[in-house]
Amino acid sequence: MTDTDEWADRLRENRREKDRFLAEHRQSPIPPEQREEFDGLPYFDPDPDYRVEAEVSVHDDPEAVEMETSDDRRVRYLRVVTFSFELDGDEHTLAGYRQETDDSDTVFVPFRDKTTGQQSYHGGRYMELEPDRELTDGDIVTIDFNLAYSPFCAFSETFSCPLPPEENWLEIAVTAGEQTP
C-alpha cells in the first residue's frame, strides 16, 4: 500500500466518522427530525493534487478583519498568517485567522472558490490548520483541501457562521472536500 493509498483510506475513515457524528450525536447541526433520513454527506473524491505545500508569511502585528456572518452579524478575526501556494499551475494565497479571544494555535481558513454555490455550500467552506508549533516566516505547511468542510449553518439556520472575506475567494474550482449538504 502506498502513502497515497494510506492517506486516502484515513480520509475516507475520517469522513465516515463525521457522517456518524452528523447522524447520531446530540450536538449534530442537523435538526433531530432530519437525522434519521441522513445517509452521509456528498464528498469530492480524495485527490492528492489538492494537498499543497504552502509557504507561510506571519503577520507580526495582526490586522483585525470584520467578517460578515450567515445571519447578517459581524465578527472580528485577526489575520495572523498568509499562505502562498501553487494549485492548478497558478500561484494563490489564502489568509489564516484567529478570533481575537482565541489563545489556541489553530488557524481558521475560510474560503470560496468556483464550486461555491454550485457543487459546494453557497456560504463557502472552512479548513482549520493545527500546526505542531508556532508558525514563522518561510515555514512550509501542508494545506489539504480534501479536508474542506461546510460550516454548521449549511445544515441549519439556527447557526451563525462567518463568511469568507473577499481576500479568500479563489478564482479556481477546488473539487476537493465536502460538497453541498
Q: What does the domain layout of the chain look like in residue ranges?
A: 44-168
Q: How far is CA 120 from CA 8, 89, 177, in A?
A: 20, 22, 9
For residue 31, the number of C-alpha atoms closer than 13 Å in the C-beta half-sphere is 9
Full-model pTM:
0.94
Task: State yes or no: pLDDT of 1 exceeds 80.
Answer: no
- Residue 41 sits at φ, ψ, to 5 deg, of -80, 155
Adjacency order of strands within the sheet including 74-87: 125-129, 107-111, 90-99, 74-87, 51-68, 140-144
The CA distance from 119 to 123, in Å, is: 12
Q: What is the mean pLDDT of the chain?
A: 95
Per residue in 2-43, pLDDT tens? 788 899 999 999 999 999 999 999 999 999 999 999 999 999
Query: What is the structure's pLDDT at 13?
Result: 96
Beta strands (DSSP E) in the chain are 51-68, 74-87, 90-99, 107-111, 125-129, 140-144
